[in-house]
Structure 1
Amino acid sequence: MPRIIYRHQPASRFIVSAIGEPGQREFFMQVKSEGNFNTVAIDKGQVIALAERFEELIRELRRGKLATPEDLAAPAVKDDEPLELPIESDFTVGVISITWENNNVVVNMQAASQEDELLIDDIDFGPDLIVANLKINQVKGFCDRANLVVNAGRPACPFCALPVDPLGHLCPRANGYRR
């Protein structure tokens, strides 16, 4: 089956959200641009890692003076709107790469596959791919929303930092007693 490459250049919307009850949530990202719209399933750990890498990238851009002071000082794009319906995942995200090109943050999200490498150059073959060009203020907005979505889940145990279900959990730091 030939590879499908979805291009969002520039992306007008780049968000993450979760559906379901804490402990049973599914995470989705939506990318939108003029004429294109994608929804992909993503792992919570990938959301956390992506937000951390974005924040690190912004620090590096500031430290290396690679972006204009105006772009770095621009306020985050706030997007509190829910996911657009219908929520039908185009694929599950496997590999993500982030680059800084032509004053844009370029995010490549490749579908999960047997391969653990990102195949950007091969246009004809490989897992489906989303290429999104983002401005720095969109990246800041994504990080703000990602942190809210991730932290809206189950609270962490104060003793072991594992997630606590509504009925409590067996805490390894309490020798297996329920907390």
Structure 2
Amino acid sequence: MAPLVHSFDWPDRVVVGTVGAPGSRSFYLQARSGRRLVSIGLEKEQSKALADKIEEVLDELMAQEGNPASVPAATPVELVDNDPLEQPVEPEFRTGVLSLGWDPSTAQVVIQAFPIVEVEVDDDADEIEIDLEDMQADEMLLVRIPVGTARAFAKRTLEVVGAGRVICMFCGEPMDAAGHVCHLPDGLE
């Protein structure tokens, strides 16, 4: 059976945002076209990796002779989006795999997100056999965004990721509002 594809070719909005307090935040990627809104859950590390990779791809494209894709060096001011996630946040799925691509025919960055695929494993089996058909995701998110929007998306995502808990200047670990037990590195006791 073909997967359900939540496709956004030129979305009105695409952002990563969070719900919850630092230390217990849940991360979401949201895409909207008109009144159609799709949210998917993802991990903080996935969010950061996606933004870092988008920046890398954009920088490589910008470095091409003549910058043929017209990639901006910085986020265009008119594309800055600091608004919170749109409510209600009801994720379609939790992301397992993300992929990133470039479509030169439309000069768009292409983001694909696939849900976590659960596979049943027989605890008594000596070997694990996985049927590739069981590994097929039943839905996915496909978002295509132009280079300026991609630059703005990456910048916002990195800011959201960095807005978590305060880092202890002594041990480098995140500090909770309820308190912090500092584990000093060897030699700083």
Superposition TM-score, scaled by structure 1 size:
0.82
Is 1:173 matched with 2:185?
Answer: yes
Alignment identity in percent? 27
Please state if 1:39 is matched with 2:39: yes
Q: Is the 8 A contact 1:108 1:130 kept in 2?
A: yes
- Secondary structure class of the residue paired with 1:163: coil
Instruction: Decide whether aligned partners of structure 1 residues 159 and 44 sit closer, same or farther in structure 2, where only a CA change above 3 A counts.
Output: same
Match of 1:151 in 2: 162
Amino acid at match of 1:60: E
Contact residue 2 and residue 126 of structure 1 kept, 8 A: no
Instruction: Identify the residue that residue 94 of structure 1 maps to in structure 2.
Output: 96
One-letter identity of the residue aligned with 1:168: H
Number of aligned pairs? 168
| AA aligned opposite 2:181 | H
Please give the per-residue CA displacement for 1:7-49, whole angstroms capped at 9, x wherever unaligned: 1011221101111111111111101124632001110011111
User: Structure 1, unaligned stretches of length 5 or more?
Assistant: 116-121
> Equivalent residue of 2:87, what SS?
coil
1:138 has 2:142 as partner: no
Counterpart in the other structure of 1:107: 111
The amino acid that maps onto 2:76 is P
Question: Cα gap change, 1:66/1:93 in structure 2, threshold over 3 Å: closer, same or farther?
Answer: farther
1:106 alignment partner AA: V
- Matching residue's letter, 2:137: G
Letter in 1 for 2:183: C
Q: Which moved more, 1:16-25 or 1:61-70?
A: 61-70
RMSD: 2.5
Match of 1:126 in 2: 137
Matched, 1:75 2:79: no
Aligned to 1:163: 174
Maintained 8 Å contact 1:13/1:33: yes
> Retained in 1: the 8 A contact 2:6–2:140?
yes
Q: For residues 85 and 38 of structure 1, what CA distance do their matches in structure 2 show?
A: 11
Aligned position for 2:130:
none
- Relative distance call for 1:72 and 1:4 in structure 2 (3 A) is same
Superposed displacement of residue 99, structure 1:
0.7
| CA displacement at 1:70 relative to structure 2 | 3.5
Query: In the TM superposition, what are the counterparts of 1:29-68 in structure 2 within 5 Å?
Result: 29-34=29-34, 36-65=36-65, 67-68=67-68
Q: Offset at 1:69?
A: 6.0
Query: Which structure would you say has the larger Rg?
Result: 2
Unmatched 5+ stretches in structure 2: 120-132
Where does residue 28 of structure 2 map in the other structure?
Answer: 28
CA distance in structure 1 between the partners assigned to 2:65 and 2:113 by the alignment: 27
Task: Using the TM superposition, give the Cα deviation of residue 170 of structure 1 relative to its aligned residue in structure 2, in angstroms.
Answer: 3.5
Between the aligned partners of 1:21 and 1:149, the Cα distance in structure 2 is 12
Residue 128 of structure 2 corresponds to which residue in structure 1?
A: none
User: Does structure 2 conserve the Cα–Cα contact (< 8 Å) formed by 1:96 and 1:108?
Assistant: yes
